[in-house]
Amino acid sequence: MIPINQLGNSGLYVSQLGLGCMSLGTEEKKATEIVKKALDLGINYFDTADLYDFGENEEIVGKALKGQRDKVILATKVGNSWTPGKEGWEWDPSKEHILSAVKDSLHRLNTDYIDLYQLHGGTIEDPTEETIEAFEELKKGGYIREYAISSIRPNVIKRFVENSSIVSVMMQYNMLDTRPEEWLDYLHNNNISVIARGPLAKGLLTERGIEKLQEKFNGKSYLDYSNEELADLLPKLTQLSVEKPLQSSAFHYCLTHPAVATVIPGASSLEQLEANVSAIYEKGLGQDEYKAYKELLKQSIYETHRE
C-alpha cells in the first residue's frame, strides 16, 4: 500500500501520492480509466477544481468515483467565477460566491460533501474574514469536512494560518522550485500540512527530462533556471538518482520534510500514472542523498506579496 499521512491535525488521511486531476483531459473514457486505475493502485487523494475545463473535470471525476466515494479523499477548489459569454475568469473570494459555488461543485461531483475545499489563490486585498466565515459555515453544515488554501503568497499564508482553521496549504513544490521551503517548519509547527503540486516540474524531473527540455521548452527557462542551466543540471540530478528513477527522487525530495503530506502529479495516460506509483514505492532519500541534491539546487524565495 502507498503510505498514508494525516492532513494537518484533521481526520483526513491521504496517500503520499495523490492524483492532480487537471491533466486528465475531457475524453471521458480515458480520464475515467486513469481515475479508476489510480484507485486500484492505492491512491486515495483526488484533487480537482471548479475552473478545470469549466467544471467538466469535476463532472468526470465525480462519475469515475461513483460507488467508491467512501474510499477517497476528494478535494476541489473555489474562488474563480466565469460568466457564460464573457471571456476569462474573475477572482471572487466573497462569502456569497463560495456559498453558491459549493452547490455547483457538489452537483458536478455527484456527492453530498467535499472532504477538502480549497481557496484557489488569494490576495492581501481579499475580504479574508468573510471567506473564512463561508468555509466555517460550510463545515458546520456538513457540506465540507475541512478547508484549506492553494497559495504560495507569504502574506496570504500567514493571514490564514493566524486567523482560520485551515488544515493544509497547496503549493507548487519541486527540486527546481524550492520557494515553499521557507514555510515548511512554520506550517509544520502550526499542525498544517503542505500538498505539493507540480512535483515533477512539467516533466523535467523524470527519466525523459532532458528530452522534454530539448523538445518542449525550446530554449525557455523554468523559474530561476535558464535553459542552459537546466541542460547542465538535469544530467547531474539523473546521475545522483542512479539507483532509482529521477521522479522517485523528485517525489521523495518533497516528502522528506514532515510538513509535506502528499505530492500530486498529474497523469494524462495510464503509463504516466503507473510510473508515478512505481516511483513512490522506491525507498525515500537518506540524509546524505538529500544533502547532495540540496548542494546542486538553488534556494529560492517568493519575492513579492510579503508584509
The yes-or-no answer on residue 52 being catalytic is: yes
Single-letter amino acid, residue 79: G
Q: Is 269 helix (H, G, I), strand (E, B) or coil?
A: coil
Single-letter amino acid, residue 134: A
The answer to whether residues 85 and 44 touch, using CB atoms and an 8 Å cutoff, is: no
DSSP H or E stretch at residue 20: strand 19-20
Give the three cell numbers for residue 106: 457538489
3-state helix, strand, coil in the chain (%, to 5): 45, 20, 35
CA distance linking residue 287 with residue 276, whole number of Å:
23
DSSP H or E stretch at residue 76: strand 73-78
Among 52, 143, 147, 253, which one carries the catalytic annotation? 52
Q: Rg for the chain (alpha carbons), in Å?
A: 19
| 76 bridge partner residues | 117
CA distance linking residue 201 with residue 247, whole number of Å:
10
Give the CA-trace dihedral at 142, 143, 148, 149, to 10 degrees.
-160
Give the three cell numbers for residue 260: 509535506
**Grid cell 525507498 in the structure block, residue:** 283
Which residues are catalytically annotated?
52
